[in-house]
Amino acid sequence: MKLKLDVALSLVAIGVLGVLNSAHAAPVYEIVNIDDFDLKGTLDGTRNGYAMGVNANDELVGVSKGKKKLSTSDVEGEGDIFDDENDGIAPEEIISYSINNPIIANNFAFVAAQNGTEGAWLPTFESINGTTVPSDTSVINSVDTFYYGINDAGLKVGTMTAKEKKTLNTSTTDVTDDYWYFRDYEYRGVAKVADAEIPLPPPYTQYVKDDKTVELGGWSAATAVNNLNLVAGYASTGISKYGAERVDFCLSKDNTLPVDVCVQREQYPNSSGTRNIQYQTRAYVWQIDENGSPVGTELPLGLTPASDNTLTLTAQAMGLNDNGVVVGRSHVYRNGSSKALAQDAAYWAKDAEGKYKYHWIPMGNKISSSIAYDINDNGIVVGSYRSYIQGYPRDKFFHFDINTPEVGYVTPNDFSSKPTDLSSKPRDINNKGQVVGYIETTYDKEKPRPKAGFLFDKSTGEFSNLNSLLTCASKGFEQDKNGNWQRHQILVEEDGSGKTLTYDADIMVVEANSINEEGTIVGTAFIRKPIYQRDTDGNIVLGDNGKPLFELNGKGEPVTGYIPRMVVLKPAASDAQACTVDDSVDTGNYERKGAASFMWLFALPLLWLRRRVG
């Protein structure tokens, strides 16, 4: 049977399009990784794809996720210490790590390029730490890998986990196939050029007490790289007070597990999503020399803790420019007051002696926290702060010039001539002052808000929803014989039970993560797809004919949903026009499959949550 539901385009799409302004001077963009109204946006064998960074040569790095069902820890990151909203993974999607279960990878780094060896902008798997392509179901990977940045010479940076180890479980009578599972570290920074991998270890990896040494592994992450092969990120420099107490327990007679297994249990996220073993974390840089060897440098914390201070203090570097100026955030006592501890945006620059010096980006008392994500070669920092606006916590995009720090940070207006309460976060800025990121697009107070990628031009102050700059063909439209634009109809001829499905093509850019000097933008888009049934292990359920079964609504009809995929946008030809079709009166057949599937529409790519671990 053919499916045609009597539902209008989702309120989410209406909300997104309702804020678009067709009158703009920003460049027109087209999505260039579209193939037959589909996005070439993830690796085979995975569900979701995210583009994280692009260089001057139109080469990008990204991450594919979802070989298995996602867990709360996959979403929230390794001990995530940010206050960002949950991204809406349903309870039935939860898989928790346990020392009693094998470790199965769910994240795979990839590259793509305009002139890619396997095709233009085709995601191509990259092995790190021995991982194998996710489409090879004969191999079970235990290593999660992530790429976050790439420089013009092709040096890529990100993180990796250690490989799974196992030891016989001696707590049961029958130990023939019963093991405990653990690994040497939870995550570690890594750089890669060609086939050469360069681990970026943290300075603190061992716990030493009396005559005993415990290998903890610590943690580190590489978040960005400049064209001088300087890598920015963060690393463990010590252990938290409570973490030390938990390691002491593992060393005590009260512990019945092997020490390595006990330590692993304490490093896994617990039911509340936190880890018992936390680390003192500092912003860090690694200089990769001509021989491919990294030399690490710890950047100063934003405060000097008292000798009896037992707090776990954190600083993280998130971006840097080709002048070696690093940006991120750090714990700091605002205005020197120990009663005003906050995590605020910061930058680190070398002084006359060549040593990095910490600089606070001043924030007012009404701002609870802030972070800087990137800085261009002209010294313009972009970041966001969190504050209550109209009674609700919101994140607002700001820019700051390190050449005139006395001016303070500036909060641009977005879709209005006046400030709004729409949350927004920047991700990247190029040397032309073009900023990309994401912004909310509706003004609901009590409901989750959909998001869209934005382009901001600092020189003109123009702020654009990227969806309003796209050509019609980049949004899922095609022309009929009269030259009128209409949504392309996608037909899925048969599922495992013989049902057919017809639905409207639909593409929405929800986040922009990187922009190069030529204006190429990479990020994430939602694309409409059929929803297929999955079993409790996350595998697609097949019918008698070997084809997957559609997920059905309460009426027994197939439904569609939105899936995140890598997206690449390039400035269109000079005569191209942005699409002016009024989507709000268009009809579609999207229907949510419970609240959790609907929440995917409001979710930002998971990678930034995973990136901000610590």
Residue 386 is predicted with a pLDDT of 97
Q: How far apart are CA 246 and CA 240, in angstroms?
A: 10
State pLDDT tens for residues 202-229: 999 999 999 999 999 999 999 999 999 9
Q: What are the beta bridge partners of residue 360?
A: 346
- Mean pLDDT, all residues of the chain: 86
Residue 596's pLDDT is 28
Reported in sequence order, the residue ranges of 404-538 that DSSP labels E, i.e. its strands, are 424-429, 434-440, 451-457, 462-465, 477-479, 485-487, 489-492, 501-504, 507-515, 521-530
Residues 301, 492: Cα–Cα separation, whole Å: 56
Residue 601 pLDDT > 70, yes or no? no
At 306-351, the pLDDT tens digits run 888 999 999 999 999 999 999 999 999 999 999 999 999 999 999 9
Distances from the Cα of 605 to the Cα of 53, 182, 464, 592, 602, angstroms: 14, 28, 20, 19, 10
pLDDT surpassing 50 at residue 293: yes
- Report the pLDDT value the prediction gives residue 171, as an integer from 0 to 100: 79
State if pTM tops 0.95.
no
CB atoms within 10 A of CB 596: 14
CA atoms of 162 and 47, how far apart (whole Å): 23
Share of the chain above pLDDT 90, in %: 74
Q: What is the rounded average pLDDT of the residues 541-549?
A: 91
18 residue type, one letter: G
Confidence at residue 76, expressed as pLDDT on a 0 to 100 scale = 27
Check if the beta carbon of residue 87 is closer than 8 Å to that of residue 48: no
State the DSSP string of 356-396. Answer: EEEEE----TTEEEEEEEEE-TT-EEEEEEEEEETTEEEEE
pLDDT of residue 603: 34
CA distance 507 to 404: 41
Query: Lowest-pLDDT range, 9-13, 142-146, 336-340, 341-345?
Result: 9-13
